[in-house]
Structure 1
Amino acid sequence: MPYVEDPLEEPDARGTRTEVQHFEVSAEEAGQRLDNYVHKRLSGVPRSRVYRVIRKGEVRVNGRRAGPETRLEPHDRIRIPPVRVMPRTDPGQPPPQLCATLAKAIIYEDDRLLVLDKPAGLAVHGGSGLSFGVIEALRRLRPNESLELVHRLDRDTSGCLLVARDAGTLRTLHALMRGDGVEKRYLALVRGKWELGAKRIDVPLRTDTRVGGERTVRAASSGKRSVSEFRPVQFFGRAATLVEVKLRTGRTHQIRVHAQHAAHPVAGDDKYGDASFNEALRELGLRRMFLHAHSLSFAWPQGGEFSVSTPLPPELAVVLDELGARTDRTRRGELRADGNRPRAARPRAR
């Protein structure tokens, strides 16, 4: 862990206890999420601790409680409570393998932004035992730039990830995202034959935090409005369906929970998925969650369209090939629907 935190109530606790801090959001800082703003102000306090103090209501925005995803406005007044932390050890430079992975992952770059084709298994943020996520490593590699994540991807999700190169671009893209001006499309393999057609799922989602900081999301009327549009792309008999998902909102684990809600969980999802379906896909070579951020597009307010897309990575494409081959063999009668060979008919005794 970059930081080691001691309980505030222990009188012999080591480390430094910060004072109550008050800030006013500047025009340059506006548009940031509250959790990102607080994380910066607390000089690297573990992100899990930042989430905890926000969700407990200890961080106030204009005197009121606010959630981690709250977007800050100019002149918002922020109160941050005392936090005890240990000075972190400088993690040094990112590992060479991570540097090489990130260099290869950059698929577009201009003076305003970077686009990465993020590999699965790579966290966008450090924390929880990780010294470097995507953004921390990029900042070390480009120390003279003010790099900021425009949005997030789950650690096990691959695909398009936007990184702003300056505060103005970050504010512009956040404003577009709040106004549904950024179109994000994903590809996911889900359980069963999707017979719902083009389906808009408008189901509120609520985030619960368990002991230890683990977050779980569930459908709940008390949650935030969450909208996903599903469209079937390719059927694999009744076993599975490749779907394209267009996000209208960007909640944590949104596609995964909406797919579960529709009774078609995402393949390889250990948290919200189906264990037997996941095991069947592992036999076909699936070693990760089958969720890929396929494309991003938007129009710059000053004019000009921007669009970028990435194909399925090889480790997912090969699973579709195997699944397609098995589906064809099942149709020809060479395999049963459960993937086993049919038994030969026994000759009748005369």
Structure 2
Amino acid sequence: MNRNKLGVHFINISLDDAGQRIDNFLLRYLKGLPKSIIYRIVRKGEVRVNKKRVRPIYKLQNNDKVRVPPVLGLNEKQMFTSTEMAKVHSLNDAVLYEDDYLLILNKPSGTAVHGGSGLTFGVIEGLRALNPDTCFLELVHRLDRDTSGVLLVAKKRSALFALHEQLRAKSMQKDYLALVRGQWQSHVKTVTAPLLKNICNRGERIVRVSNDGKPSETRFKVEERFTLATLVRASLVTGRTHQIRVHAQYAGHPIAFDDRYGDSGRFKQKLKECGLNRLFLHAVALRFEHPDSGKTFRITAPLDATLHQCLLHLRVYHKQQQ
């Protein structure tokens, strides 16, 4: 049922949504509405399950029929500004793969994966607006706002559980391409520095190497060398916040345009001349077992035009210096 249509509508609960509390289901299904409104209309009996009033703690069952009153009608114009709507529609062009269980995007740099901290728009909110008839859309994992590349979204709760189990078991392989300052030393193939996350006064997350931090491991492989930089492939063994960025800095080779973790000076100025204006960190490949078939599934995401042109410029400059 289209959640953007005004007026009463009904939602048929599937096995994927069974077991959730009605209040949590509505908070997710009608993302953007204040909690106070949702709890008020549930308490007043305007939300009905199988034609009966329910309490907010009611747990949904398979084949339940949920009545949603007109007051909950939302449309895209109410949810997003015109600028955000342009980003929403651009997500259609970012889809790499889709089936009944998965939706995989090549997330653009500069777009958060979800709203919050002053942001109304994120990838998941945009996808829900574009797919109003899809009852379940949830992020399997996350990417930093300025990181581009493969982003996995589950379309069924069973798929989300199966993929989360692969993440816990460390059987899902995530590979990134990063352009780092200087000449990466070939013998540095693994960084295992523990990472501690802190929240600064402005609410930003800052991660640093600390013996008090959580065990963290990133594997690095040199892909291409340039005069001032190295293109490396980084493979995550653990998945800590800002892990690749901090481990690269710890190894003495901060990632290009990473203002938070040490990129500055001549290196950054040269990359500006190459047309780079964003963090050079791209989730290039993801390998996992498909939650339905169980077969090994591998998908890759091409570099955007900015990153591609930067590499072309660096290759030309490298040849000129030889």
Q: Which residue number corresponds to residue 234 of structure 1?
A: 224
Question: Matches of residues 1-350 of structure 1 in structure 2 within 5 Å?
Answer: 92-94=78-80, 95=82, 96-145=85-134, 146-197=136-187, 199-237=189-227, 239-276=228-265, 277-300=267-290, 303-331=294-322
Whichever residue aligns with residue 247 of structure 2, its letter is H
- Deviant stretches of 4+, over 6 Å: 43-46
CA gap of 1:45–1:266, structure 2 versus 1, over 3 A, is farther
CA distance in 2, matches of 1:244, 1:115: 21
Helix, strand or coil at the partner of 2:78: coil
Aligned partners of 1:295 and 1:307 also within 8 Å = yes
Whole-Å separation in 2 of the counterparts to 1:240 and 1:323: 8
1:138 Cα shift?
1.0
Residues in 2 aligned to 1:270 and 1:45: alpha-carbon distance in whole angstroms: 35
Q: How many Å apart are 1:127 and its aligned residue?
A: 2.0
Shift of 1:284: 1.7
- C-alpha displacement of 1:143: 2.4
Distance 1:210 1:187 in 2: 28
> What is the one-letter code of the residue matched to 1:282?
K
Query: Structure 1 residues 98, 203: closer, same or farther in 2, change over 3 A?
Result: same
Amino acid at match of 1:182: M
For 1:186, give the aligned amino acid: Y
Aligned counterparts of 1:45 and 1:252: Cα–Cα separation in 2: 29
Structure 2 residue runs of 5 or longer lacking an equivalent are 1-16, 35-73
CA distance in structure 2 between the aligned counterparts of 1:27 and 1:119, rounded to whole angstroms: 33
Which amino acid in the other structure matches residue 257 of structure 1?
V
User: Structure 1 residues 45, 154: CA separation in 2 closer, same or farther (over 3 Å shift)?
Assistant: farther
**How far apart in 1 are the matches of 2:289 and 2:242?**
26
More helix by proportion, 1 or 2?
2
Which residue pairs with 2:51 in the alignment?
none
Q: How far 1:123 moved relative to its partner?
A: 0.8
| In 1, Cα distance between equivalents of 2:262 and 2:271 | 12
Task: Provide closer, same or farther for how the CA distance between residues 116 and 271 of structure 1 changes in structure 2, counting only shifts above 3 A.
Answer: same
Q: CA deviation at 1:274?
A: 2.1
Structure 1 residues 221, 27: CA separation in 2 closer, same or farther (over 3 Å shift)?
A: farther
- Residue 197 of structure 1 contacts residue 231 of structure 1 at CA under 8 Å; is this kept in 2? no
Alignment size in residue pairs: 255
TM-score of the superposed pair, with normalisation by structure 2: 0.74
How far apart, CA to CA, are the structure 1 residues paired with 2:19 and 2:268? 45
CA drift at 1:304: 1.0
CA shift, 1:113, in A, is 0.6
Q: Percent identity?
A: 48
Provide the C-alpha distance between the structure 2 equivalents of 1:330 and 1:284, rounded to a whole number of angstroms. Answer: 15
Contact 2:197 2:213 in 1 (8 A): yes
SS at match of 1:229: strand
Q: Whole-Å Cα distance in 2 between the matches of residues 105 and 315 of structure 1? A: 16
Q: After TM superposition, give the deviation of residue 139 of structure 1 in Å.
A: 1.2
